[in-house]
Amino acid sequence: MEDAKNKLCKWLRIDTILLNRMHFRFLAGMFLMVPLWNLVSCSKEASGPPPFVVGGSGMSDIEVIRDNKIDWSFPAGGDCDDVHMLPSGNILWAHTNGASEVTPNKQVVWDYPAPPGTEIHSVQPISNHEVLVMQSGTPATLLEIDTSSRTIEKSLVIPTTAAVHDQFRIVRKTATGTYIVPYLSENKVCEYDPQGVLLWSVPAEEPWAASRLSNGDVLISGGCKHYIREISPDGHAMWEINQNDLLGATLLCVRGAKRLANGDTLICNWAGEDLAAVGQEPQILEVTPEKKIAWSFNNTALVDLPSAVDLLDESAPTPSP
C-alpha cells in the first residue's frame, strides 16, 4: 500500500505526508476519476431492503418481496393491517374479514372468520399454537385462540364508545400478560391486565399501533397524524419522529411499526390518505435510533398501499411462488 501511495505521489507531485493526511482513497478517486463509492463496500441502503412479507389496506394480496420482485403471493381476503412470518415459514395475517395462517405451499391451516358486524385488523402470535385477535365490534373483544384445536381460550371485553370501524387497529399482548390497546378514534393508548383492569393510559393522537418494548417503553405509530413515538411508563416522549424530521422521506400515514432486534424501527408509510404522494415517498423504511434511514423501499409496481410488514426469517422455508 505504501509503494502504491508513493508512486501516486510522484505522479501527482504530492507529498506523501500530505496525502496521508488527506486520505489516500479520496484523492485517488478524485484525480484518477474513480468514483469513491466503488472503493468501499455497499451500504444496506445501496444494496436494497432485506426480504419481507407485506400486506396493505388497498392491496389484494399479501406478498413476499425478495430481490425487488414478488417471490410469493396469496389472496389477502380483505384489507391487511397485520402480518407475520412465523418460525415455521407460515404466514399469519389479519384481513378485516378475519385472520388466517397459510403455509409456504399456500395451504390454509387456520382461519377465523369475523362474525357479522365485526372487523379484525390485528392478530399476534403469542405461542407456537396460540394467537391474539382483536375483534372490533359491539362489544369489542380480545380473543386468545388455540389454532391447533381451533378453540377460543380466553375472551376479554375492551370498553369503547367508537363505531366498529374506528375502534382498534394493532393490539399487542406483552411478555407479562398485559394488553397494550391503541384507541384509534379515542386518542389514547391503554394497558389492561389479564382481567381487563386498566393499568395505564397515555394520550396519543390517532394511535394505529402500539407495542411494549424491552426497555419498558411503548412504541406508538400515529396513523395520519404523521408520527412515531416512544413513550416511557411515566408518559414522557423518549424518542420521536414527526412528519418532516427525516432526510429523504416524509411521513404520511404511519401504520405498521415495530422495533427490530438491532434497535432500528421498521415503518409502513401508507399513502392512502394522500394519493398524490403515491410513488413520491418511501412505502417502507427502516430508521436508526439516530433518525437516519438505513434502507427504504418504494416500488408501486410491486406493492400498492402497504399497512403491515415483517422481515423474513431467513432460516424459515422460502414460500413457493
Could you please report the per-residue DSSP string of 43-96? PHHHH-PPPEEEEETT-SEEEEEETTEEEEEEE-SS---EEEE-TTS-EEEE-B
CA–CA distance, 308 with 35 (Å, rounded to integer):
37
pLDDT of res. 276? 75
Domain containing residue 187: CATH number: 2.120.10.30
Cell 411508563 belongs to 233
Pairing of strands 61-66, 119-125: unpaired
* Confidence at residue 58, expressed as pLDDT on a 0 to 100 scale: 85
Considering the domain architecture, whether residues 24 and 116 belong to the same structural domain is answered as: no
The number of domains in the chain is 2
Residues 33 and 116 in one domain: no
Check whether residue 30 and residue 116 sit in a common domain: no
Residue span of the structural domain in which 158 resides = 112-302
Domain assignment of residue 318, yes or no: no
The predicted pLDDT at position 313 comes to 65
Q: Are residues 167 and 297 in the same domain?
A: yes
Are 265 and 249 within 8 A, CB to CB?
Answer: no
In a domain, 71, yes or no: no
How high does pLDDT run on average in the chain? 86
For 16-44, the pLDDT digits (tens) are 333 344 443 433 343 333 332 222 223 34
Question: Helix (H, G, I), strand (E, B), or coil: what is residue 236?
Answer: coil
One domain, residues 22 and 129: no
Q: Per the domain annotation, does 97 fall within a domain?
A: no
Same domain, 189 and 291: yes
Does any domain span residue 77? no
Pick out the chain residues at pLDDT < 50.
1-46, 314-315, 318, 320
Please tell me the predicted confidence (pLDDT) of residue 46: 41
Q: Give per-residue burial for 59-83: e unless 16+ CB within 10 Å, then b.
A: bebbbbbbeeebbbbbebbbbbbbb
Residue 165 DSSP symbol: G
| Residues 280 and 138 placed together within one structural domain of the fold | yes
